[in-house]
Structure formats: structure tokens, C-alpha cells
Chain A
Amino acid sequence: MTSSLLLGITTFTYLFATLCFVYIFVFKAYRVYPFAIAVTVLALAIQTAGIGLRWYESYAMDIGHAPLTNMYESVVFFSWSIALIYLLMEWKFKTRILGLFALPFAFLAMAYASFSTGISKEISPLIPALQSNWLIAHVITCFVGYAAFTVAAGLGAMFLLKVSKGGAEKKDGGQFLAAIPAPDLVEDLIYKSMLFGFIWLTAGIITGAVWANSAWGTYWSWDPKETWSLITWFIYAITLHSRYTGGWTGKPLAWLAILGLVSVIFTYYGVNFWLSGLHSYGSG
């Protein structure tokens, strides 16, 4: 048993869980819901074991470090956080259908990590700059934040679908989308996940700054990755205030959740490939 095998199985289990939710959505087969949740929990358990085993393997190789230090490991952790946040939300709010909009991201992240040729899955030793507990704190906080924003964007898509022309008003469409809870509830969940994500992103930017200061003596150097994380942070800060002053709830909020995710993805992924900077470790 190796960690790559477990993480490979995880990928397909997330795919299967997603399909269960598609089935529930299309056939309104709510009986299947407990099964779909069970599959998701199973996927998360296998993934947790995979991450744990990878951690263990790195110690067996005598270069032990938490599995949170390169692109592959961070994408896996991202997927793990999405699934965990999704399950916690489902446990608390019982939307029964959110899985359809959240789990595809967990699956896609794993599929990308497992099958993209551009990502090295090697467990490699850490260069000196990366040997810091602040790095671990930085990666965890950032990715929990990103995962919450991903769930918010999934909910945003769900909201837009629900209130779209084919949605509530039309008879057939209304039938088709009946599985999606009332817009007000979805709206509330979008906003809550954005608040949750905002705190973690803030903590992520701060721990990154502390790390940079302990390694280089500069807590902020406006390198492209830092700047993009700040831009993302601004977008969510704007969202908080536009709700307050412009009453931007509902559709605008849903769109902002999606725009925010686009910015997150660019911060996380785009910057490594199109812009250069200190965070080159992420590109390997």
C-alpha cells in the first residue's frame, strides 16, 4: 500500500460521490442521500489515510516533513479541505444537494493532482527556506480559506441556477430545480462561507508574512503571489462592504463569490505559470 495508490482511489471515490449527487438531483432520489454522504465520508477517510501515509513515507525516506510543501501536496490538501468543509456544512444545514456543487471541485483537484503531467508527485526534501513551521501554518490557513471560497462559489452557481429564468418561475424548470433549497437559505450559506474563508485567508496572508520575515527579514515584498493574494483579499473585503452599503445580496453576491474564486485560482495557480516570483516552489 502506498500513498499514491490511496490518493488515486480517493480521486475515483470523489467522482463516484459526485455522480451519486447527480443522480439525486436528476431523479429527486433523496433516499440515496445517506449513501452519497457515506461515499463522501469514505473518500475523505481514504484521502486522510493517504495524506498520513505520505507523511509517514517522508519520514521513512529520512527527509520527514508534513505533506504540505509542493504543488501536488497542496492540491491534495485543498481537495481534502473542500470535502471536510462540505461535510461540516451538510451536517449543520442539511441542504442535501450542495454535494453536487462542492464535490466536483474536490474531484477535479484530485484529478488534476493525480493525472497532470506538469506536477511532480515525488516526495522531495525541503530546501532550507521551506523548513519552517510558519510554512505549514501558511499552507493550512490559505488552503482552508481557498476551500471555503470554493464552496461559496459552488453555492453561488447553485443560487444563480435556482433564480435563473428556467428556475423557480417556469413550471418544468421549477420541477427540475426543486432539489435546490430556497434562495434565501443558499444566499445565507454563500455569505457564511465567504466570512469563514475571509478569516482563514487573512490568517494565511499573515502567516505567510511572518514566515517571510523569519526567513528574509521582509514581511511584505509585493512579489506577484503576495500581491495577488492581497487582490483576492480586497475582492472579499469589497463583497462584505457592498452588502452593507449597496444591499448587494442575492445575485450580485453569487457573482462576487464566483469572481472571488477566479481570483483565488489565479493566485494559486495562474501566478506560478504566468508571473514569476518568490513562490517558485509551487511550480514543481
Chain B
Amino acid sequence: MESPKPSISILVVEDEAITLEFLVTTLAKKYPNVTLYQALNGKTGLELFEVHTPYIVITDINMPGMSGGQMAGKIRAIKPDTKFIFLTGDTGKLSIEAAVGNGFKIEHYIDKPIDFWDLFFIIEKCIGEITHSTPLSVIDGNRVRHLD
């Protein structure tokens, strides 16, 4: 497996602590060269983004206080080309877009329960877009839902 360039960073926002821990430990093992930031709510997520401006934001939608969509809207105002990967429960694509606002069109979202390999595929696709190169690794591509 090729490793992404060290400059890549990902922010993971999820309000459920154990779920967040699984996400972060998994991504850390899978992408040892990627810098990971984690937040348990939208507000902290936004604060971390302001400090570190990561390339990719993986976020849950439904969180108390600031939702994933609301946070994404604020992040886009700071850095419009940020890549978002939404992890959704019951929220439809359209309501996420409405929550983000400003004519946002969703690119990547994964329904819960989340298949790690779907997530890897999308992360690598985003990294590929950022580094203007092909995706770094595709594991079992048949299990991945293509969004575009």
C-alpha cells in the first residue's frame, strides 16, 4: 500500500465517543502518515478547523448544538474547497445540503452502518483529487458505492 503525502490531514467529528475512537484508531492504522484531528461536537470541530485547516472533514450529521451540516456551512465560508464526507443516519442528501446552505452540493456521503472500506475508498478518492493523482489504494472496489 502506498502512503499518502504527509501533508494530508483529516478532521473527524462524531458526538459518540466510542464511535469516534473506532474511527480515529482505524484511520490512524490505515493511514499512518495522515494527521488526524478529532472532535466530539460541531463547535469543537469548527475550532479545530480554524486552527489546522485540514483537507478532509469526516462528520456525523446529527449532533446536539451545531449539526454536521451547520458546521460544514461555516467551514466552507472559511475554506470553500474543503472535502466533506458525511456519515448519515436517517438524514437525506437534500436536508444535508439545505443545512450546509449557500448552494452546497453534496459529493460524498455514507449511510450508517458504515462500511470501513467504503470510507477508505472515498477518503482515497478525496486525497487523489487533492494531490491530483489517482487514488492511492482501492480495496475491494466492488463494495464501494460510486457517488459521481
Partners in one complex: no
